[in-house]
Amino acid sequence: MRVSDFDFELPPERIALRPAVPREFAKLLVVSPAELRDRTVADLPGELRAGDILVFNNTKVIPAALSGQRVGRLGTSPKIEALLHQRLDGSRWKAFVKPAKKLIAGDRVRFGSLEAEIAEKGEAGEVTLAFTVSGPDLDAAIAEVGRVPLPPYIESKRAQDEQDRRDYQTIYAEHAGAVAAPTAGLHFTEGLMKSLQVAGIEQEFVTLHVGAGTFLPVKVDDTADHKMHSEWGEVTATVAERLRKARAEGRRVIAVGTTSLRLLEASGLETFSGSTDIFITPGYRFRAIDGLITNFHLPRSTLFMLVSAFAGTERMKQAYAHAIAQHYRFYSYGDASLLWPGP
């Protein structure tokens, strides 16, 4: 399948640099095979029905963007930017670094009070960082010296600030480990969660630690040649059983965000704990979900491929054209859509 099949024109002014205030006042485009309807996220309780289950990703974003410099070699000490994206064990993280050409295996990099060795150098700017501290001490050090890794299409437009530490985190974030937010969940407030409960809409939580690979562009021409970065996730036995039971009873399971969707599809609604690199493109047969709440995604991205697989490529192009014409806001801080499956 050609990556160019998932391209579309997006005016730069449609990129949201701040979230809606309040969060649930963001627009919501309801997409079904029969119609497109303009709503707001606050209207969700009326768009769903009693017995539906919303599945949220309760991962917590860590300040995984680190700035430092190479130390220990004679000569210059170049500045190094690192973005942690996958924890390997108590002291080691995989990370994307810039400029990678300034580093070789064995080099040391100091990020403020935190120091690491380049244990391994991979391709496309990826390295393995072996830190000199581990466990909770490493977590505390990263929290002290790191900053929130906002998506590049926001950081290229403005500097991040203290407000981003609040805005770029869901209200139900619990398990630390993500380097990118599950952005569909950013729209949910305490008030909206209570309104959903009153409407009889149930809530379940899974964990997928979103990696920096979600920011990477697709550089190949054919989707078959694209390699997804793996991410760690968990679906507990209790949650898996409840979701299976709901579907057996004819109730709908609706993923809040593509991260929840990917984990549910990888698990097949069974107990799951481990890594997944599932890559969903049109032709994929969904087996775990009945609906999807998600933001508006980049052209030619794996996420636009995913929503095209779920609702239909032509239908999603129509929906995105409508969203652009109606001044919807795109990407992490943007508006949302509620997708029902295509035929």
Confidence of residue 30 (pLDDT cuts 50, 70, 90): very high
pLDDT of residue 71: 93
- What are the pLDDT digits (tens) for 174-233? 999 898 999 999 999 999 999 999 999 999 999 999 987 666 678 888 888 888 888 999
Is the pTM for the entire model greater than 0.85? yes
pLDDT of residue 214: 67
pLDDT of residue 182: 96
pLDDT of residue 274: 95
Domain ranges of the chain: 3-61+163-339, 65-145
Centroid of chain to Cα 334: 13
- What are the pLDDT digits (tens) for 121-172? 988 889 999 999 999 999 999 999 999 888 888 888 888 888 898 999 999 9
Residues belonging to the chain: 343
How many Cβ atoms sit within 10 Å of the Cβ of residue 50? Answer: 10
DSSP 157: T
Average pLDDT of the residues in 48-53: 97
Average pLDDT of the residues in 20-26: 95
Q: Are 44 and 196 in contact (CB under 8 A)?
A: yes
User: In sequence order, what are the residues at sequence separation of 6 or more whose Cβ sits closer than 8 angstroms to the Cβ of residue 220?
Assistant: 3, 226
CA–CA separation, 53 vs 28, rounded Å?
18
pLDDT of residue 161: 86
How many Cβ atoms sit within 10 Å of the Cβ of residue 206? Answer: 24
User: In sequence order, what are the residues at sequence separation of 6 or more whose Cβ sits closer than 8 angstroms to the Cβ of residue 302?
Assistant: 218, 226, 228, 279
- Number of helices (H), then strands (E), in the chain: 9, 17
CA–CA separation, 110 vs 133, rounded Å?
12
For 70, the 3-state DSSP assignment is strand
Q: Are 312 and 339 in contact (CB under 8 A)?
A: no
Checking if the pLDDT of 75 tops 70, the result is: yes
Q: What share of the chain in percent tops pLDDT 90? A: 80
Q: Which of 65-74, 151-160, 183-192, 272-281 has the lowest mean pLDDT?
A: 151-160
Average pLDDT of the residues in 332-340: 97
CA–CA separation, 246 vs 158, rounded Å?
44
DSSP string for 82-150: EEEEEE-SSSEEEEEEETGGG--TT-EEEETTEEEEEEEE-STTEEEEEESS-HHHHHHHHHHH-B---
CA–CA separation, 252 vs 315, rounded Å?
21
Q: Are 151 and 215 in contact (CB under 8 A)?
A: yes
Q: At 136, give phi and psi (nearest 5°).
A: -60, -30
CA–CA separation, 227 vs 260, rounded Å?
20
pLDDT of residue 215: 63
CATH of domain 65-145: 2.40.10.240
Mean pLDDT of the chain: 93
Query: Do strands 336-339 and 291-295 pair parallel, antiparallel, or not at all (unpaired)?
Result: antiparallel
Q: What CATH architecture is 3-61+163-339?
A: 3-Layer(aba) Sandwich (3.40)
SS3 helix, strand, coil % of the chain, rounded to 5? 30, 30, 40
Confidence of residue 273 (pLDDT cuts 50, 70, 90): very high
Checking if the pLDDT of 61 tops 80, the result is: yes
β-bridge mates for residue 202, sequence order = 53
Element (H, E) at 241: helix 237-248
3-61+163-339 and 65-145 in the same fold: no
